[in-house]
Structure 1
Amino acid sequence: MAKGSFSFDFSDVTAHHEALGYRVDFYLPERAAHRIAVREFAEGRYYEPFTHLGFKHILEAKGRRNVVHAGAFFGDMLHTLSKSAGMVYAFEPVLENFVFAKKNSERLGLDNVVLFNAGLGEETSLLPIRTTDKQGRFIGGGSSFDGTVRSADHSYEMAPVFRIDDLPVADVALIELDVEGFELPALRGARKTLERDRPVVLIEDNKKNCADFLTSLGYSFVFSTKGLNYWSSAADAGLLGELRSRASELGVLES
């Protein structure tokens, strides 16, 4: 009987977040070396450093409560979330991404991170997620749920999808979704959580279709930076107003 092993190629880097004082070691996926987030970390810089500042600002102001974070990729945001949250419930449906997120979480000793090899949606299901582009290149964090899978099409993986409301997750202070156009189904699956806990919501909203749903629940759009939209209930309007002012000072506020 022959024996062997399967492995993923990686780089070992140290990245520095000057404003937060974090200096953290990461494993980076070589197959995703072309992705901007990986390139930034490979050069020793945090990708979207203001987002990390925002996490700390929001979570510490809201008493270090719990977080739902979807689209974990290789785990680049887990350390920052872990430092300021109670528990971090992180979701990554692509197997290779999940392995890197898991290894980075273990390496950094993030004991308050619970990581799921799954996505978030409107109902519990099993869906195809595209993991390579038309040229056959691995998409990494750009992988998306986008249609019907053909037989033996290896550009897709099948991934479990959960509703946030079906999970034993409580006292949520922040929901952050970077799920490549699947934000609205993920939010619909979190309706009860949104109504109960009134978390701050950070979403990319690539399809620009989440506003009506969030507004119907009493949420208001506050600002956007680097494609990430910041929404809050009335109770957190002042909190996000402070963060908006900081974004303006740093020159990263989008008009």
Structure 2
Amino acid sequence: MGAVDELRFLTALYRPGSLVDVGAHEGLLTLPLSRLPGARVLAFEPLPAAFARLSVACAGIASIELLPQALGDAPGQLTLSTPVVEGVRQEQWASLVKKFAGFGPRVSAEKVQVPVVTLDSFALHDLTAMKVDAEGAEYEVLRGARDTLLRCRPVMTLELEERHREGSTWAVPAFLDALDYVTCFVLEGRWWPASALDRATMQQASSDPSDYAASNPYVFNFFAWPRELDTMVRHCLPEIKARA
């Protein structure tokens, strides 16, 4: 059985329309998603250095719209902090909710003010899929997309990690449940509801960006879909067993 990662999930359940990549970085998902027939990808990347590389990678591709903004639950500006470990920038940890203080002399932080907008402000009517990787700010991203989620009912992949935002692995699924969404993770070839996550054994890792140790398994990819699409999910990914 092939692993169910973000790209496979979004491709298997693809419907033509707009797709949103939150935390696009260098376009790892933006580029393949843009090649799907009838797709238009809105790629959000607020970190200036990453956005510059994303712009080069996506140059000339008409189906991609690049946005140097962060998504949140209110318009404005916020501080984006990027940890620097012994002089090496850890861009994949850049966060609007973490300050990276108190980790000792090995870790410092670069800070930049970035514009923040809500997804609802785009008034999308054809959103079919989202990838959300906001290093702890996923709850705010979804709060600012509430009307869009209710109107368009996209499928979603989310990276949720307690090391980035304590409580995120229950707060985000609870928010989505109120919108009649199912949120699951995959382990040993089976869909498990987000409520089955055992944080003590499935998601133990330090919030220190210089400490890479993590539990095995380390479950941080979550998949969400409107409850009315449950049958379609089972049909498109038949090798994944039903939820426990």
Instruction: Please classify the TM superposition score into its range, dividing by the shorter chain length.
Output: 0.7 to 0.9
In structure 2, relative to structure 1, the CA distance for the partners of 1:134 and 1:222 (3 Å cut) is closer
Paired position in structure 2 for 1:36: none
Within 5 Å, give how 1:126-205 maps onto structure 2.
126-146=77-97, 155-205=110-160
The number of equivalent residue pairs is 198
Instruction: Supply the AA of the counterpart residue of 1:188.
Output: R
1:234-245 alignment, distance < 5 Å: 234-242=227-235, 244-245=237-238
Equivalent in 20, 23, 45 of residue 71 of structure 1: 23
Partner of 2:43: 90
Following the alignment from structure 2 to structure 1, what is the Cα–Cα distance between the partners of residues 100 and 8?
A: 39
Give the distance between the partners of 2:61 and 2:231, measured in 1 at CA.
Answer: 30
Amino acid at match of 1:99: A
Return 231-240 or 122-131, whichever deviates more. Answer: 231-240
Q: Are residues 237 and 231 of structure 1, via their aligned partners in 2, closer, same or farther at CA, if it must alter by over 3 Å?
A: same
SS in 2 for 1:155: strand
Kindly indicate whether residue 32 of structure 2 is the aligned counterpart of residue 80 of structure 1.
Answer: yes
8 Å Cα contact 2:158-2:221 kept in structure 1: yes
RMSD of aligned residue pairs (Cα, Å):
2.8
Gaps of 5+ in 2: 102-107, 162-167, 188-218
Aligned 8 A contact 1:79 1:105 in 2 = yes
Query: How far is the alpha carbon of 1:49 from its aligned partner?
Result: 8.0
Shift of 1:50: 3.3
Sort the Cα spacing of 1:246 and 1:79 in 2 relative to 1 into closer, same or farther, 3 A: farther
Letter in 1 for 2:22: A
User: Which of 58, 63, 84 lines up with 1:112 in the alignment?
Assistant: 63
TM-score after normalising by structure 1? 0.69
Partners of 2:240 and 2:48 lie apart in 1 by 34
Match of 2:13 among 54, 58, 71: 58
Instruction: Tell me if the contact between 1:222 and 1:237 (Cα under 8 Å) persists in the aligned partners.
Output: no
**CA separation in 1, counterparts of 2:10 and 2:98?**
32
| Per-residue deviation, 1:246 | 4.0
Query: Is contact 2:83–2:100 with CA below 8 Å preserved after alignment?
Result: no
How far apart, CA to CA, are the structure 2 residues paired with 1:115 and 1:131?
21
After TM superposition, the score normalised by the length of structure 2 is: 0.72
- Give the share of equivalent positions with the same residue, in percent: 23
4+ long deviations beyond 6 Å: none
